């Protein structure tokens, strides 16, 4: 029993010794080998490698074989035994097919064999023809060139007669054997041409056997066609095959080393093969002796025709790599000059090359002087080295198309975008958000835009231009069509990336995988936060004024101002909406219609929001100290300024509502209420005057704009409201109050003159007007600012004119009586004024006088 529990009972002859041995008795490891070797020599080529006896290991599988199933043997091994005898037109393919099986078997065995074993008789006829090789096969380190060391050696030249003759020369050298295992796999992929030479190669066929059998039915023409499909190949690591196969297309080994390439890479193989040739170029000493048996053009020649391809390939490489291929063009130059002089030292490669003869026929080498030959071979070695270098550098050439590169770039950019957080939709939006004042101001005032989106946009542009050049440079035909599209996508991508980079990074913390801490970072725009506090959502101030019913708090300054601000923000939203209005929808474009509908929906909801925030519809509470929220809204300059903007975004109904609201609250309006000068003062305080000015500049035009289009019945209703709801006398003493009254009266007059008023409406109006006139009659003289020189009284004259036009002759007379004094006063006063001011004052008076059919001129 073994100490390790191995089952030691199997081989009968070994059982005894192992039992005899103790644990510490060292076995002689080589004894077995020696024994096996001896056995192997005696046992023949079948199991000479085995350590144990055949009988011991035979598992009896052979007994299970079904010997009856020979039906397809002919198919498998070929039944055409009556083929013509081997000659110069040897049926290479057919023969190969016939012995394919045997080759395969031999192959496996051969590769497993010890080198010293005689080569198997697989291709016996061929090998026997060359005893030197047979002998050489025994020494693994041999290169196969030994026989050429004799300068006089001239091998059988018939090899050149046809590429198919190659097989005559080919033989399995030890060099190949060493590679056999590694290449076996690759060769399995080799195509039919590999198979064509299988006989000569005698390698790895077992693995490729299935394939080989599938393909062996190809005719010679087919095989040739396949061969031509591949660019001419130069020999690689198989020096022995060099002489014959150099000009031959597609050496199987070389094919095998390249994985099958897709169509798009058709240009690649020559490059690789060249380079491989460079790698495998034999040492000069051997080259020297080769020429005699290589009647075909020297490898240099094949290089030249391939140049364009070379260049094309190298276009992908940095410029410094362009050098070697160019230099390769040189050798054909200057053959004559060289003949006379020995080659100069090789510091000048170009010159050197130029002076060497062009060796088109290797036999020429033989006629050169020793020096020239050495120089030539040195050149050659250098070239080989260079080619090798190119090969190493160009391994990845063309694997990625420009499109692929773009694709990768886009992925990277995408990640950049994703990492940087949210993406701003469009450039202009972002600019407007960040730089609103400048952008709009520049548009309004036409300020010089020195550098619109300077820093980053410029950068992106530069980058894109660069890419464009590169693409245009050598994109192939297919890519050309896509290039534009590609560029656009790239551009978008870059823009988004740039935007994202501009935007504050959303993730301000970086957690490196595997680390315990976090790294937070910041930039100038978003400084690194020292405290990370979450603001509770509910603490926002918006809640309080969402209640439908307004309480007292609305009257206080803060809530009013908040209201105004919310109105403004809604206004700005609406203005933004206006800017982003989609183009008028096309009937046939459901998407555009959809968009438009959505936009309209948004506008509508914003309008509702604005309307709510204005609080126009708050119930009117009579007799309270708290002003109506909308009136409070109007009491702030900000609120007044908002009116024109609001009027642009609301419909007629909402406008009339606002107007009604203002008219109803006319006497509580700050500009009316506070417009009464405090006793002792000739006019209201400066702040109030400013407020009045502002009101008449902002609110009044909006109201006037509406009133000028308002239907007559609304005018009548409004006048009725003024009379019913307000202290008309008080209101009429203020500029704003008078202004609104003037507005209504003049509109009525216009309607009347245009004959748009129905008889009934007009009756109603006259009734109301009479009430107003009667109410105001006692105070007509008091409408004016107290002192004649208190300033502008034009609005009063305008009002009086409006009253005068609409008044009956009787009323007109009463009116004249009421204001007669003021008229005379003004006329007298104007005489003391400078001419222009005087004419202005008189013009104001005349406005009224003409309304009632008079003229200041009559007053003399």
- Single out the residue of 504, 558, 579, 648 in contact with another protein (rule: CB under 8 A): 504
Of 130 and 435, which has the nearer Cβ to another protein?
Answer: 435
DSSP conformation letters of 319-341 = GGGGHHHHHHTSTTS-HHHHHHS
- Measure the CA angle with vertex 126, ends 120 and 132; round to 5°: 80
Rounded CA-CA distance 23/363 in Å is 70
User: Shortest approach of another protein to residue 539 CB, angstroms?
Assistant: 11
Identify which range of 341-349, 373-381, 433-441, 816-824 contacts another protein by CB under 8 A.
433-441
- Single out the residue of 267, 439, 482, 602 in contact with another protein (rule: CB under 8 A): 439
- Single out the residue of 128, 411, 440, 620 in contact with another protein (rule: CB under 8 A): 440
Q: Among residues 466, 465, 532, 456, which one has the least CA distance to residue 500?
A: 456
User: Shortest approach of another protein to residue 432 CB, angstroms?
Assistant: 9
By CB under 8 A, residue 428 contacts another protein: no
By CB under 8 A, residue 459 contacts another protein: no
Rounded CA-CA distance 206/180 in Å is 11
Identify which range of 247-255, 276-284, 562-570, 789-797 contacts another protein by CB under 8 A.
562-570
- Single out the residue of 69, 320, 340, 450 in contact with another protein (rule: CB under 8 A): 450
* Count of other CB atoms within 10 angstroms of residue 218: 17
User: Shortest approach of another protein to residue 504 CB, angstroms?
Assistant: 7
- Which residue shows structure tokens 């004419």? 839
* Count of other CB atoms within 10 angstroms of residue 82: 5
Q: Among residues 227, 226, 120, 130, which one has the least CA distance to residue 180?
A: 120
Rounded CA-CA distance 773/779 in Å is 10
By CB under 8 A, the residues from 272 to 311 that bind another protein are: none
User: Shortest approach of another protein to residue 538 CB, angstroms?
Assistant: 13
Of 6 and 441, which has the nearer Cβ to another protein?
Answer: 441
Of 169 and 640, which has the nearer Cβ to another protein?
Answer: 640
Count of chain residues binding another protein (CB under 8 A): 26
Q: Judging by DSSP bridges, how do beta strands 519-520 and 509-510 pair with one another?
A: antiparallel
Binding string, residues 567-596; x marks residues near another protein by CB under 8 A: -xx--x------------------------
Of 228 and 525, which has the nearer Cβ to another protein?
Answer: 525
Q: Among residues 193, 27, 202, 175, which one has the least CA distance to residue 108?
A: 202
In 3-state terms, what secondary structure has residue 125? helix
- Single out the residue of 336, 477, 535, 543 in contact with another protein (rule: CB under 8 A): 535
User: Shortest approach of another protein to residue 438 CB, angstroms?
Assistant: 4
By CB under 8 A, residue 442 contacts another protein: yes
By CB under 8 A, residue 58 contacts another protein: no
Which parts of 754-833 fold into alpha helices (H)? 759-776, 794-806, 809-831
Q: Among residues 165, 173, 170, 215, which one has the least CA distance to residue 190?
A: 215
Cβ-count burial 760-783 (b if 16+ within 10 Å, e if not): ebeebbeebbeebbeebeeebeeb
* Count of other CB atoms within 10 angstroms of residue 5: 7
By CB under 8 A, the residues from 514 to 533 that bind another protein are: 524-526
Identify which range of 282-290, 561-569, 625-633, 805-813 contacts another protein by CB under 8 A.
561-569
Rounded CA-CA distance 182/785 in Å is 114
Of 202 and 503, which has the nearer Cβ to another protein?
Answer: 503
Contact 315, 474 (CB under 8 A): yes
Rounded CA-CA distance 288/293 in Å is 11
Of 4 and 437, which has the nearer Cβ to another protein?
Answer: 437
Identify which range of 82-90, 139-147, 436-444, 460-468 contacts another protein by CB under 8 A.
436-444
Rounded CA-CA distance 732/799 in Å is 9
In 3-state terms, what secondary structure has residue 233? coil
User: Shortest approach of another protein to residue 435 CB, angstroms?
Assistant: 5
By CB under 8 A, residue 444 contacts another protein: yes
- Single out the residue of 447, 597, 781, 790 in contact with another protein (rule: CB under 8 A): 447
User: Shortest approach of another protein to residue 446 CB, angstroms?
Assistant: 11
Of 448 and 548, which has the nearer Cβ to another protein?
Answer: 448
* Count of other CB atoms within 10 angstroms of residue 155: 16
Of 536 and 809, which has the nearer Cβ to another protein?
Answer: 536
Q: For residue 75, give the H/E element and its range.
A: helix 73-77
Identify which range of 147-155, 303-311, 313-321, 434-442 contacts another protein by CB under 8 A.
434-442
* Count of other CB atoms within 10 angstroms of residue 363: 14
- Single out the residue of 49, 50, 105, 435 in contact with another protein (rule: CB under 8 A): 435
Which residues touch 613 (CB under 8 Å, ≥6 apart)?
563, 566, 567, 570
- Single out the residue of 58, 407, 441, 459 in contact with another protein (rule: CB under 8 A): 441
Identify which range of 86-94, 390-398, 443-451, 758-766 contacts another protein by CB under 8 A.
443-451
User: Shortest approach of another protein to residue 441 CB, angstroms?
Assistant: 5
User: Shortest approach of another protein to residue 739 CB, angstroms?
Assistant: 23
Of 128 and 440, which has the nearer Cβ to another protein?
Answer: 440
User: Shortest approach of another protein to residue 546 CB, angstroms?
Assistant: 18
- Single out the residue of 80, 551, 565, 586 in contact with another protein (rule: CB under 8 A): 565
- Single out the residue of 445, 477, 543, 546 in contact with another protein (rule: CB under 8 A): 445
Which residues touch 841 (CB under 8 Å, ≥6 apart)?
826, 829, 830, 833
Identify which range of 309-317, 439-447, 688-696, 733-741 contacts another protein by CB under 8 A.
439-447
- Express the helix, strand and coil content of the chain in percent, nearest 5 each: 65, 0, 35
- Which residue shows structure tokens 């001239």? 154
User: Shortest approach of another protein to residue 497 CB, angstroms?
Assistant: 20
CA distances for 782 relative to 45, 351, 667, angstroms: 142, 116, 17
CA distances for 421 relative to 162, 492, 503, angstroms: 69, 16, 8
Rounded CA-CA distance 482/503 in Å is 31
What is the rounded radius of gyration, in angstroms, for the C-alpha atoms of the chain?
54
User: Shortest approach of another protein to residue 689 CB, angstroms?
Assistant: 19
DSSP 807: S
By CB under 8 A, the residues from 637 to 656 that bind another protein are: 638, 641
User: Shortest approach of another protein to residue 414 CB, angstroms?
Assistant: 24
User: Shortest approach of another protein to residue 700 CB, angstroms?
Assistant: 18
Identify which range of 294-302, 563-571, 687-695, 825-833 contacts another protein by CB under 8 A.
563-571
Of 169 and 502, which has the nearer Cβ to another protein?
Answer: 502
Strand partners of residue 461:
none
Query: Mind spelling out the 3-state secondary structure of 652-694?
Result: HHHHHHHHHHHHHCCCCCHHHHCCCCCCCCCCCCHHHHHHHHH
User: Shortest approach of another protein to residue 597 CB, angstroms?
Assistant: 27
The distance in angstroms from the start CA to the end CA of the chain is 153
Q: Which residues bind another protein (CB under 8 A)?
A: 433-442, 444-445, 447-448, 450, 504, 524-526, 535, 565, 568-569, 572, 638, 641
């Amino acid at each position: 029993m073994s100490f390790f529990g191995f089952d030691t009972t199997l081989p009968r002859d070994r059982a005894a010794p192992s039992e005899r041995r103790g644990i510490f008795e060292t076995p002689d490891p080589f004894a077995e080998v020696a024994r096996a070797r001896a056995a192997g020599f005696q046992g023949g080529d079948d199991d000479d490698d085995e350590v144990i006896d055949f009988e011991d290991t035979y598992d009896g599988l052979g007994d299970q074989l079904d010997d009856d199933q020979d039906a397809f043997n002919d198919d498998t091994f070929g039944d055409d035994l009556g083929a013509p005898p081997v000659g110069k037109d040897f049926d290479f393919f057919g023969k190969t097919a016939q012995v394919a099986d045997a080759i395969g078997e031999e192959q496996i065995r051969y590769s497993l064999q010890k080198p010293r074993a005689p080569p198997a008789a697989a291709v016996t006829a061929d090998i026997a023809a060359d005893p030197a090789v047979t002998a050489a096969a025994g020494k693994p380190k041999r290169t196969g060139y030994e026989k050429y060391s004799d300068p006089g050696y001239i091998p059988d030249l018939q090899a050149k007669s046809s590429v198919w003759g190659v097989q005559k020369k080919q033989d399995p050298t030890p060099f190949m054997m060493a590679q056999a295992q590694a290449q076996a796999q690759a060769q399995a992929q080799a195509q039919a041409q590999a198979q064509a030479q299988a006989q000569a190669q005698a390698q790895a066929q077992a693995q490729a056997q299935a394939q080989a059998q599938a393909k062996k039915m190809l005719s010679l023409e087919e095989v040739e066609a396949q061969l031509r499909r591949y660019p001419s190949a130069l020999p690689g690591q198989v020096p022995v095959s060099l002489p014959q196969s150099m000009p031959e297309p597609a050496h199987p080994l070389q094919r095998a080393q390249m994985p099958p390439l897709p169509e798009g890479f058709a240009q690649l193989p020559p490059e690789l093969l060249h380079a491989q040739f460079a790698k495998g170029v034999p040492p000069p000493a051997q080259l020297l002796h080769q020429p005699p048996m290589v009647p075909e053009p020297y490898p240099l020649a094949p290089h030249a025709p391939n140049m364009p391809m070379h260049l094309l390939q190298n276009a992908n490489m940095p410029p410094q790599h362009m050098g070697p291929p160019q230099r390769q063009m040189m050798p054909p130059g200057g053959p004559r000059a060289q003949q006379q002089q020995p080659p100069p030292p090789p510091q000048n490669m170009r010159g050197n090359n130029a002076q060497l003869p062009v060796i088109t026929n290797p036999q020429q080498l033989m006629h050169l002087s020793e020096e020239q030959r050495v120089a030539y071979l040195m050149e050659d070695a250098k070239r080989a080295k260079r080619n090798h270098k190119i090969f190493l550098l160009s391994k990845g050439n063309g694997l990625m198309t420009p499109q692929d590169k773009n694709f990768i770039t886009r992925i990277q950019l995408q990640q950049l975008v994703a990492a940087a957080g949210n993406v701003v939709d469009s450039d202009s939006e972002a600019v407007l958000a960040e730089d609103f004042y400048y952008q709009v101001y520049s548009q309004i005032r036409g300020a010089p835009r020195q550098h619109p989106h300077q820093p980053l946009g410029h950068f992106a542009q530069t980058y894109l231009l660069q890419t464009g050049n590169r693409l245009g440079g050598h994109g192939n035909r297919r890519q050309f069509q896509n290039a534009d599209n590609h560029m656009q996508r790239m551009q978008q991508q870059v823009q988004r990336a740039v935007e994202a980079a501009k935007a504050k990074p959303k993730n301000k913390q970086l957690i490196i995988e595997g680390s315990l801490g976090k790294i937070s970072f910041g930039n100038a725009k978003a400084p690194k936060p020292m405290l990370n506090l979450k603001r509770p959502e509910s603490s926002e101030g918006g809640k309080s004024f969402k209640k439908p019913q307004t309480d007292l708090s609305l009257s206080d300054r803060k809530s009013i101002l908040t209201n105004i601000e919310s109105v403004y923000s809604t206004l700005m939203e609406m203005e933004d909406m206006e800017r982003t209005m989609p183009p008028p929808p096309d009937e046939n474009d459901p998407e555009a219609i959809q968009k438009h509908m959505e936009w309209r929906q948004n506008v509508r909801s914003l309008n509702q929001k604005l309307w709510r925030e204005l609080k126009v519809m708050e119930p009117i509470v009579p007799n309270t100290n708290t002003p109506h929220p909308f009136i409070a809204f109007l009491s702030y300059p900000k609120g007044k300024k908002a009116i024109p903007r609001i009027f642009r975004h609301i419909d007629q109904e909402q406008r009339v509502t606002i107007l009604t609201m203002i008219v109803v609250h006319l006497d509580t309006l700050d500009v009316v209420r506070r417009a009464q000068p405090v006793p002792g003062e000739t006019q209201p305080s400066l702040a109030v005057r400013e407020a009045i000015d502002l009101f008449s500049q902002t609110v009044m035009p909006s109201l006037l704009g509406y009133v000028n289009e308002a239907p007559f019945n609304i005018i009548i209703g409004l006048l009725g409201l003024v009379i019913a709801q307000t202290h008309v006398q008080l209101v009429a003493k203020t500029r704003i109050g008078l202004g609104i009254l003037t507005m209504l009266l003049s509109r009525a007059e216009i309607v009347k003159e245009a004959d748009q008023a129905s008889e009934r409406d007009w009756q109603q109006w006259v009734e109301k007007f009479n009430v107003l006139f009667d109410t105001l009659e006692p105070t007509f003289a008091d409408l004016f600012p107290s002192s004649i020189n208190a300033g502008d009284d034009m609005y009063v004259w305008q009002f009086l004119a409006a009253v005068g036009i609409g008044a009956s002759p009787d009323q007109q007379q009463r009116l004249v009586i009421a204001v007669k004094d003021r008229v005379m006063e003004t006329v007298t006063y104007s005489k003391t004024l400078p001419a222009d001011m005087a004419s202005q004052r008189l013009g104001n008076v005349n406005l009224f006088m003409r309304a009632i059919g008079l003229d200041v001129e009559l007053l003399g």
